[in-house]
Structure 1
Amino acid sequence: MARTNPLQFIQQVRGEVGKVVWPTRREVLLTTVMVFIMATVTALFFALVDMGIKGGLRGVLSLFG
C-alpha cells in the first residue's frame, strides 16, 4: 500500500467523512424505541421459557422425590 503524507491523509479523511449519510433525529429516535421494544419482548420470551423449564423440572423431580 502506498504511503501518504499526513496532509493528504487528513484531506482523504475529510473527503470520506463528507460522504457519510448521518441519520435524522427521527430515525435515531425510532431506532432507539425499536431496540427497547425488542429487548423487552426478548426478556419476556426468555422469562416465560425459564418459567416453563422450571415448572417442567419441578414436575419431573416431584415424581421421583
Structure 2
Amino acid sequence: MARKPGQTPQAMRDRAAKTAAVMATPAGAAQPPKKKTSVAQFAREVRAEARKITWTSRKETWITSIMVAIMVTFAAIFFWVVDFVLRVGVAQLLKLAS
C-alpha cells in the first residue's frame, strides 16, 4: 500500500512542531482578526483541499465490502441463536409456572 501524503516522519514532525507552537501561546492573547476571503480564493482553497483526497483502490473497497458482509452474517447468526435460546428458556419457564 502506498504511503499517503503527509504521513512521512518529517511531515509528522512539522505538524507536531506547529501544534506545539500554537499551544505555547498564552490563552488570553488576542488573536489577530481573520482576513476576509473572496469567493475566488475560497474556490482555490477548496480545489487545493480536494486534491489532497486519497481514494481507496477497487481491491481495497472489494475486500472491505466482503469483510462487512461476513461480519453482518456472523452477527445475524449470533443474535438468531441468542433469540432462540431465550425464547426456549422463557417458554420452559412459563410452562413450569403454569
The alignment of Structure 1 onto Structure 2 pairs a total of residues equal to 65
Gaps of 5+ in 2: 1-33
Task: For residue 49 of structure 1, give the secondary structure of its aligned residue in structure 2.
Answer: helix
Distance 1:37 1:2, change over 3 A: farther
Stretches (4+) displaced over 6 A:
none
Which structure has the larger Rg? Answer: 2
- The answer to whether the aligner puts 1:18 opposite 2:51 as a matched pair is yes
Task: For residue 53 of structure 2, give the secondary structure of its aligned residue in structure 1.
Answer: coil
- The answer to whether the aligner puts 1:28 opposite 2:57 as a matched pair is no
* TM, length-normalised to structure 1: 0.91
CA–CA separation in structure 1 for the residues paired with 2:35 and 2:88: 64
- The answer to whether the aligner puts 1:62 opposite 2:62 as a matched pair is no
Alignment equivalent of 2:79, drawn from 15, 21, 46: 46
Kindly state the Cα deviation for residue 2 of structure 1 after the two structures are TM-superposed. 4.2
Gaps of 5+ in 1: none
CA–CA separation in structure 2 for the residues paired with 1:41 and 1:61: 30
Which has the larger helix fraction?
Answer: 1
CA–CA separation in structure 1 for the residues paired with 2:91 and 2:58: 49
The residue type paired with residue 23 of structure 1 is: T
CA-based RMSD of the aligned residues comes to: 1.1
